[in-house]
Structure 1
Amino acid sequence: MNSVNVAKMIDESKFNRFHGVVLFWCAFTIIFDGYDLVIYGSVLPSLMEEWSLTPNQAGTLGSVALIGMMLGALIFGPLADKMGRKNVILFCIALFSLFTGLIGISNGPVEFGIYRFIAGLGLGGVMPNAIALMTEYSPKSLKSTLVSIMFSGYSVGGMIAAGLAIILLGQFGWRSLFFVGALPLILLPLMYKTLPESPRFLLMRNESNKIGQLLTKVNPAFTYRENQTFELMKTEEAGAPIIKLFKNGRALSTIMFWVSFFMCLLMIYGLNTWLPKLMDGAGLSVSGLMFLLVLNFGAIFGAIFGGRLADKWNPKSVLLVFFILAAVSLTLLGWVTNIILLYVLVAIAGATTIGTQIICNAYISQYYPTEMRSSGLGWALGIGRLGAIAGPIIGGILLTMSLPFYQNFLVFAIPGIIGALALCFVQEKYSSSKATEKYLTEESLTSDVK
């Protein structure tokens, strides 16, 4: 009996209800990741007033969760390659939901920081695994699009945080926003029942029945027969997943991915933490929280539109354009005073910073083979979190220096140029997608000969 190539069947499938369920749950987890991204920037003025925090202290406190996210990505990314993506995703959701809720009862900056750090571990761990799982179950023609749609939940979460802050801050105080962040705990049982496990992990455990059942959902035309055998690829590379990131010509690309992630996350977290404060300090008549809403609205458009472009053309080329547009829009933000143009530039900045990160995630999830996919994403996001940590700290330093308005945004524009330069050195000839195409072509030729 011929073995069924699981990866090939998923690649050739058409989007259906099963894909929709995976998309929904992965997007659901990312929504709360985005919620956490914006929530701190939304409550920051209230915290600074209540606890008499200086800008430097506020920037450092904002980076505590990001340190947790960095460690969470570095730990839970590789762990999922060994223990299964679903198990790690569920654990990480429970972790960040519980401790985000506990932040609402914290009595001071130290307790606040401890809870944020632990919540950050879960947030950092869930992201690479949600992306990897979505990539594994996406049809080949829609991989970048579906991952980008899923990750637009990041911006939806940011918009929810900014919108709720406008509604709840005045009436219920900043603590109410963190209680909202605990809501995913309620849906964990349903998620456990309906979210599928990684096909590679099921193959590792020889759970052919579960794989067969999943494939009938992926492709309703497929009929599973008892004792049927399955495979992903003929061979897997030997060694630990982290070591594999630097093997077979991938070393330079891995380092360049890390640099581009660092720069992109620096822009994202610096803007989402300090944009309201910077805009309020500029003497504008509009609330800084409105700019957060516009920033994340633009990110949704950038993610979906950019993801579709990446599927049609080359993801690397799309990312280069987005990085350059991010640098240009942020530079212009410091010079424009017309409120309409400011909104337009902030939307473009959101589309090309948060949107760029989303497309980067989709790109890197296709670059590495499936057995190291979570490790590749986890380490890129983990190292990138150093940029996320630096962003709020740099913003705090800038405010204490009382620089001219345009110079604040120029500092956040420079990483866009560096990120674009780093991506230029990514070597696509060593990517997993190229290897898969070669393998499937050889397999097809072999079948024709037979």
Structure 2
Amino acid sequence: MASAPGPSFDVDAFLDSRRIGSLHIRVVIILALIMLVDGYDIFVVGSVLPAIADDWGIKPNLLAGVFIAQQAGLLTGVTVTGPFADRNGRKTTLLACLACFGISTFFVSFVRTPFELIALRFVSAIFFSGALPNCVAMVSEIAPKRMRAGLISVVFCGYTGASFILAWVLAFVLEPFGWRGAFILGGAMPLILLPIVWFFLPESIRFRAGRNPADPRIGGLLRQIDPSLRFRGDERFVLETKPRKEKTRPVTGLFRDGLLRITLLVWAGYLLAFLVNQLMSSWDTTIFHHVAKLSYKHIALLGACRTTAGVIGTATAGFVMDRFGATRSLSFFFLLASVLIGGIAFSDLGGTSGLILFTLTGYAMNSALGGLNAIAAITYPPQMRVTGVAWGSGIGRIGGMLGPVAGAFLLSGTPNTTTIYLLTAVPEALAGIAILAMIWVRRSAAARAATPAGAVEAIS
């Protein structure tokens, strides 16, 4: 005679009712460190590009293929790492990605030709793509609902904080050790982080519950949050939103149950935001040095100020969204960034006005990027969350490929900073309009009572 099933334990209700404790803090810190090294390794090539071009005796815009290959690798990677993580776990995916892009970044320090650099950056980028969506998914799956966007923003600070290391590299590493030293550092950091992730980062509780409600490891993780819990050993750990049982690819769920228009608008935001972000991160150093004739030390100052403001923006954006509404706040950040970028076009980049505008731009742009990842994470239910964030990020990589190409075009001929930054402000404004349109989608969906479970909070 079959034994009766054990009692059910509502994982969602428990996690949403808890205060922030030591497990939450540990997870947030480790995920922020992963984002830090991932951000450094993605953006390092843009920071040292002028030095590479000088070393090889070519014009910097002839290396635009490096950025295109990197974005193509990121786009290729998200089509694999997202569904893989939703099936096999966030922690497993993060470990594999850290190991692979750490090794491939280290080998960049040995390249001798542009083709070798392009090939290795493409390979590295395939594994870069797994870090961001898995980190965002993991923190969203342990955070209480009332603080979800805020904690996602805190984790995303690591990505923004990578610019601190890049500014330090420009100021203190580039001249004595050359551009190869920057890639040696980039290869070492993720490999050093591997044992920390292996031993101290737990797998997502919600992922385990969705995959196997009888998994005995879930009880141990829940007791780390509340030591007073006692389990018999035969509990079933259930989620409020039950995973779908049909055998469909997670990506198809992004267009079902009323999510089609929401997904398209989120993708539009990613596409335009990444276009601007990659244009500026890839070419700002070159624009400042070759067009504005600024010294590397002043460029490092601009980068440090923008990064400081960016970290503040990233850290606070989620809490602003939790307080004032995700859609309205995110749209405001994009539109503010557009105005500030337009202001840079008429500023003195070597003076106080340029420094102030560039700093405020860092705040607005990073608030928007962090908020965009928060919206993507809370839009989709657990069984497709990494896929949703990964595919949004992947669509963003298409914009990321267009950004460096646009930058190379703007730098051809006789470039000037006014034209470059005025044109750069336009897609940032369009991203704000796309996110604002989600309010109309919410109202339309509510009128038809067709908003799917798990998407309501993301479009409110």
TM-score bin, normalised by smaller chain: over 0.9
Gaps of 5+ in 2: 1-5
Query: Match for 1:242 among 239, 247, 251?
Result: 251
The residue number in structure 1 matching 2:221 is 214
Q: How does 1:14-163 map onto structure 2 within 5 Å?
A: 14-163=19-168
Query: Match for 1:226 among 212, 233, 240?
Result: 233
1:302 and 2:287 are equivalent in the alignment: no
Aligned 8 A contact 2:68 2:405 in 1: yes
Cα offset for 1:310? 0.9
Q: Distance in 2 between matches of 1:419 and 1:269?
A: 15
Query: Match for 1:6 among 6, 11, 22?
Result: 11
Aligned 8 A contact 1:80 1:88 in 2: yes
Aligned residues: 437
1:406 and 2:415 are equivalent in the alignment: no
Amino acid corresponding to residue 193 of structure 2 in structure 1? L
Cα offset for 1:111? 1.2
Cα offset for 1:94? 0.7
- CA 1:336 to 1:11, structure 2 compared with 1: closer, same or farther past 3 Å? same
1:357 and 2:369 are equivalent in the alignment: yes
- CA 1:363 to 1:258, structure 2 compared with 1: closer, same or farther past 3 Å? same
Identity of aligned residues (%): 28
The residue number in structure 2 matching 1:199 is 205
The residue number in structure 2 matching 1:324 is 335
Cα offset for 1:354? 2.5
Query: Match for 2:360 among 348, 362, 368?
Result: 348
Aligned 8 A contact 1:55 1:399 in 2: no
- CA 1:151 to 1:400, structure 2 compared with 1: closer, same or farther past 3 Å? same
Cα offset for 1:228? 1.5
Cα offset for 1:290? 2.5
Cα offset for 1:234? 5.4
Amino acid corresponding to residue 198 of structure 1 in structure 2? S
1:252 and 2:257 are equivalent in the alignment: no
Q: Distance in 1 between matches of 2:241 and 2:340?
A: 47
- CA 1:229 to 1:60, structure 2 compared with 1: closer, same or farther past 3 Å? same
Q: Distance in 2 between matches of 1:130 and 1:434?
A: 20
Cα offset for 1:230? 1.1
Secondary structure, in 3 states, of the residue corresponding to 2:255?
coil
Q: Distance in 2 between matches of 1:152 and 1:181?
A: 18
Aligned 8 A contact 1:202 1:211 in 2: yes
- CA 1:194 to 1:133, structure 2 compared with 1: closer, same or farther past 3 Å? same
Aligned 8 A contact 1:103 1:178 in 2: yes
Q: Distance in 1 between matches of 2:240 and 2:319?
A: 27
Greater shift after overlay, 258-267 or 337-346? 337-346
Cα offset for 1:227? 0.8
Cα offset for 1:435? 5.6
1:283 and 2:293 are equivalent in the alignment: yes
Greater shift after overlay, 80-89 or 403-412? 403-412
- CA 1:109 to 1:387, structure 2 compared with 1: closer, same or farther past 3 Å? same
Q: Distance in 2 between matches of 1:234 and 1:415?
A: 36
- CA 1:51 to 1:283, structure 2 compared with 1: closer, same or farther past 3 Å? closer
Q: Distance in 2 between matches of 1:122 and 1:249?
A: 31
1:252-299 deviation digits (Å, cap 9, x = unpaired)? 111111111011111111111111222221234663233222222221
The residue number in structure 1 matching 2:193 is 187
Greater shift after overlay, 152-161 or 277-286? 277-286
- C-alpha RMSD of the superposition: 1.9
Gaps of 5+ in 1: 438-450
Aligned 8 A contact 2:13 2:240 in 1: no
Aligned 8 A contact 2:241 2:453 in 1: no
- CA 1:405 to 1:186, structure 2 compared with 1: closer, same or farther past 3 Å? closer
Aligned 8 A contact 2:71 2:401 in 1: yes
| Structure-1-length-normalised TM-score | 0.93
